[in-house]
Structure 1
Amino acid sequence: MDLRDLKYFLAVANAGNFRRAAELVHRSQPTLTKAVDRLEASLGAALFERDGRGQKLSAAGTALRARAAGLLQEAELVRDEVGAIARGVAGTVRLGSGPLGAEYLLPPICRMLLREAPNVVLQLSIRNNYELRDDLREGRVDVILGFVPEQEDEFYCETLLKDTVVVAAVRGHPIFRVRKPGLEALTGYRWALPNRAVPSRTWLDHTLESRSLPRPVVQIETNSIPLIPRVVADTELLTFVSRRTLRASGGELVEVPLPAATLVRNFGITFRKDQPLSPVADRLIGLLHDFGKTLFDQLH
């Protein structure tokens, strides 16, 4: 059943004859006649009966007229909804983010997206990067906002900016009384670190071991990265955190200047190679490309 044919049928049914209906919809009478003929052929029933110089609805036509307006309205709603999704101003995007992106980047990016596309639905999952990769692999998220590896074969990755991770401690920590501390100075203190599955923790362990030094003695281990700076601020534990986190601490935490224990990592987006992104996901990624670095740099 063609929706245009249905529209022309409804015009004839409301006008009472083909001539008046043709004038109302600005089409020729033969165009409307052919539309009704196609409908009758597809339905296997006559829709009109001759009534003097006009037409009156048959029983089948009356039944169709009762439903036609609703069908056309529903079709229009579907068209508008699909069109909005295609333009990236409606639809759902499932975004997974690590703690750093969630705390410093997602709030303003979400505001921007909803301002441009108020009917978009955002499903946000805040987890560690290694957990989100499993979610992406199994189709529970569409895009990951977090740290991306230097080499990646399984997923498609785009780097948005660089992030630097450093050893840090509360201001006044004893390590700051050591003149030009080396890596060996780190072994004299206890630490608050994320669990071993987090890549930055793995990197720190490997860095010390590669110089024949013991791994950090971890007194507080957690899967909550945002918790670590708050814990360290009230202790004499060392930690390993982003410089952006230090800046956000308001001066409570201070970097321990150790180039050998400084990790530069890529921060960006990750998504699957085998599934195209929806228009709204593309729109979100566009905002991250346009404003991500600027928003992070505002933490200086």
Structure 2
Amino acid sequence: MDLRRWTHVVAVADRRSFVRAAEEVHLSQPALTRSIQAAEAELGLLLFDRRGSEIMPTPAGEFVIARARQLVFNSRCLERDVALYRSHNLGDTAFGVGPLPATTFLPGLLAGLRSEFPGIKLRVEVSNWQLLLKRLREEDIEFFVADTSDLPADPGLHQRPLRRELGGIFVRAGHPLGAARTVTMQQLWEYGLLSIRLPSRVRGELARQVGLASEAELRLALECDDAELLTKTALHCDSVLLTAHAAVAEQVKAGRLLPLEVRSLPALYAQTGIVMLRGRTPSPMAELIISRLPAGQ
């Protein structure tokens, strides 16, 4: 069976409708229906149940569609890479980063790429891992780099660990708690905690420290995917900032932010990693970027 027909099978599986799938593959509905019927006849299997309001894959269809999807996916990757090879360039790419990588190692990496390859076009999405995972599955980005602590186990994903980003608690210079040698989490909580979306491991520990029954009860004063915005907020009020040391190293060195020692608080860290779709061949530019990411420690 040729690749074009596999593409038709995947389109019907995704759209759950012959009408919508026909629009996607630029065929008339009768032509698409004939293509699916020919595929079923060639395979000797019924791929779709047509009885309901939506076209649903049969058990045999689920088995075939998973493999057809990989064939179509690999074909697109091959077409892209051949085009890049013909034009003798690395090509463009789109990828995602979590809030902490966006403020720690990403700026230097992007500056280096822009200096070395001024003609490239990059698109970078900065968000939490949940939204980045959705973009990855939609094939809107090639990979993402984020805290993978809560990433679900999925055989369709390939993960590679990077370095741990050590975290800490910080307040502005002149903060009422700034002169204390050690503080408790209850003391900090009264001023309001600012943070990116935290992994369950950290949320659970914070909830325990402030006397809550579970992490579900934990409500931060400000939770935001923009780590730089959180830092600027902490510099101009008495709220307490929880972030990576690397994200505020310059502010601490300049004396604008002060690190606090919190009594009985275990070490805080984010486990960053690269996440890709399993079986996907990265574009040349994506491979180059991945090779320059900080290795695990």
What's the offset of the Cα at 1:83?
2.1
CA contact (8 A) 1:144 1:269 kept: yes
Provide the residue aligned with 1:157 in structure 2: 159
Provide the residue aligned with 1:270 in structure 2: 275
Higher strand share: 1
For 1:254, which of 255, 258, 263 is the aligned residue? 258
Which stretch has the larger CA shift, 207-216 or 124-133? 207-216
For 2:205, which of 179, 204, 207 is the aligned residue? 207
CA distance in 1 between counterparts of 2:83 and 2:129 reads: 33
SS of equivalent residue, structure 1 residue 260: coil
Provide the residue aligned with 1:241 in structure 2: 243
Q: Which runs of 5+ in 2 are unaligned?
A: 1-79
Letter in 2 for 1:254: L
Within a 5 Å distance, the mapping from 1:52-63 to structure 2 comes to none
SS of equivalent residue, structure 1 residue 199: coil
* Residues 1:120 and 1:81: Cα distance change in structure 2 (over 3 Å): farther
Provide the residue aligned with 2:127 in structure 1: 127
What's the offset of the Cα at 1:174?
2.1
* Residues 1:217 and 1:289: Cα distance change in structure 2 (over 3 Å): closer
1:78-121 alpha-carbon deviations (Å, 9 max, x no partner): 99954267x7x322211111233233433332343355555533
1:41-65 alpha-carbon deviations (Å, 9 max, x no partner): xxxxxxxxxxxxxxxxxxxxxxxxx
SS of equivalent residue, structure 1 residue 275: coil
CA distance in 2 between counterparts of 1:218 and 1:169 reads: 16
CA contact (8 A) 1:166 1:261 kept: no
CA contact (8 A) 1:190 1:216 kept: no
1:250-282 alpha-carbon deviations (Å, 9 max, x no partner): 321111112615312222322111322122211
* Residues 1:115 and 1:79: Cα distance change in structure 2 (over 3 Å): same
CA distance in 1 between counterparts of 2:81 and 2:270 reads: 44
1:174 aligns with 2:167: no
CA distance in 1 between counterparts of 2:119 and 2:289 reads: 13
Within a 5 Å distance, the mapping from 1:53-202 to structure 2 comes to 82-83=84-85, 89-149=89-149, 153-154=153-154, 155-194=157-196, 198-200=197-199, 202=200
CA contact (8 A) 1:96 1:125 kept: yes
Letter in 1 for 2:123: Q
SS of equivalent residue, structure 1 residue 140: coil
CA distance in 2 between counterparts of 1:79 and 1:145 reads: 23
TM-align CA RMSD:
3.3
CA distance in 2 between counterparts of 1:225 and 1:150 reads: 19
* Residues 1:117 and 1:211: Cα distance change in structure 2 (over 3 Å): closer
CA contact (8 A) 2:163 2:294 kept: no
Provide the residue aligned with 1:231 in structure 2: 233
Letter in 1 for 2:167: V
SS of equivalent residue, structure 1 residue 113: helix
CA distance in 1 between counterparts of 2:210 and 2:239 reads: 22
CA distance in 2 between counterparts of 1:216 and 1:175 reads: 22
Q: How many residues align?
A: 209
What's the offset of the Cα at 1:227?
0.6
Normalising by structure 2, we get a TM-score of 0.59
Q: Which runs of 5+ in 1 are unaligned?
A: 1-77, 294-300
CA distance in 2 between counterparts of 1:252 and 1:206 reads: 30
CA distance in 1 between counterparts of 2:160 and 2:81 reads: 33
CA contact (8 A) 1:166 1:255 kept: yes
* Residues 1:84 and 1:257: Cα distance change in structure 2 (over 3 Å): farther
CA distance in 2 between counterparts of 1:277 and 1:153 reads: 21
SS of equivalent residue, structure 2 residue 91: strand
CA distance in 2 between counterparts of 1:254 and 1:242 reads: 13
Q: Identity percentage over the alignment?
A: 18
